[in-house]
């Protein structure tokens, strides 16, 4: 049973994206605006945001670097553009060798590149430097992937980073706010429990759907 903090869940990711737009209207019409989605679930949400503001749409892919044998524990991440961000404290505490980190990073980078090709085809990566970036996902629980994306995105020197999600845990939003220029969480229910609870339809987004939405969201 859903908590009673909101009157109803979002019907699906498209519905959630349209609701999120209402919190982002102040960015409408900016020439430097770029909407980046964390695939796959963030893409249908971001498509609605990009269409409404309007702004070009693309993906920013992040792959967690799991510690060998304890993959749920992140020692870093790789992201679009070949950017690698390491949790130096974890690497030092676990005494992980450079060779171990490189081996895991190479594997995850290969999967990242596969997804880049599947989603973007031959189109070049978007220019991030000097732009206002709205970074979108379908929700935040712990926010691990989003924090990795933010760290990797900062390396590419955008002017402003806005994290925007339809639903999130309130403490996660508060923590992220220390790392970016703005965090927009349309709904922060209490208790939070899980992102999927706030959607009537939370079916997995496919690679084909991501590719199709990126095609539709690309400006001529």
In a domain, 3, yes or no: no
Domain end point (choices 76, 99, 120):
120
Q: What is the pLDDT of residues 14-49, one digit of tens each?
A: 999 999 999 999 999 999 999 999 999 999 999 999
The answer to whether the CB of 140 falls within 8 A of the CB of 172 is yes
Is pLDDT at 2 greater than 80 in this prediction?
no
E strand spans, the chain: 33-37, 57-59, 62-67, 70-79, 83-86, 132-136, 160-167, 182-187
Domain end point (choices 101, 120, 139):
120
In a domain, 196, yes or no: yes
Residue 87 lies in domain? 63-120
Give the CATH number of the domain where residue 37 resides. Answer: 3.40.50.2020
Q: What is the pLDDT of residues 144-169, one digit of tens each?
A: 788 889 988 998 999 999 999 999 99
DSSP calls for 94-144:
TT--HHHHHHHHHHHHHHHHHHHHHHHTTPPPPP-TTSEEEEE-S-BSS-H
In a domain, 102, yes or no: yes
Of the pLDDT bands very low, low, confident and very high (cuts 50, 70, 90), residue 130 is: very high
In this prediction, residues 67-79 reach a mean pLDDT of 82
Residue 80: partners with Cβ closer than 8 Å, 6 or more residues away: 59, 60, 61, 62, 112, 116, 125, 152
Element (H, E) at 93: helix 88-93
In a domain, 104, yes or no: yes
Same domain, 139 and 92: no
Instruction: Say how many domains are in the chain.
Output: 2
């Amino acid at each position: 049973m859903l908590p009673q903090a909101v009157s109803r869940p979002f019907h699906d990711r498209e519905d959630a994206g349209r609701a999120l737009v209402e919190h982002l209207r102040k960015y409408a019409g900016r020439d430097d605006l770029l909407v980046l989605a964390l695939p796959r679930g963030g893409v249908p949400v971001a498509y609605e945001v990009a269409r409404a503001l309007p702004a070009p749409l693309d993906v920013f892919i992040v792959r967690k670097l799991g510690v060998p044998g304890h993959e749920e524990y992140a020692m870093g991440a790789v992201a679009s553009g070949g950017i690698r961000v390491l949790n130096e404290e974890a690497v030092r505490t676990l005494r992980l060798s450079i060779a171990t980190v490189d081996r895991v990073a190479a594997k995850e980078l290969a999967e990242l590149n596969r997804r880049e090709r599947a989603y973007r085809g031959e189109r070049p990566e978007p220019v991030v430097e000097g732009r206002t970036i709205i970074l979108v996902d379908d929700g935040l629980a712990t926010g691990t992937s989003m924090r990795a994306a933010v760290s990797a995105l900062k390396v590419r020197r955008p002017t402003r980073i806005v994290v925007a999600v339809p639903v999130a845990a309130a403490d996660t939003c508060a923590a992220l706010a220390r790392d970016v220029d703005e965090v927009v969480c349309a709904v922060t229910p209490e208790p939070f429990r899980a992102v999927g609870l706030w959607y009537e339809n939370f079916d997995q987004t496919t690679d084909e759907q991501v590719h199709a939405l990126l095609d539709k969201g690309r400006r001529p």
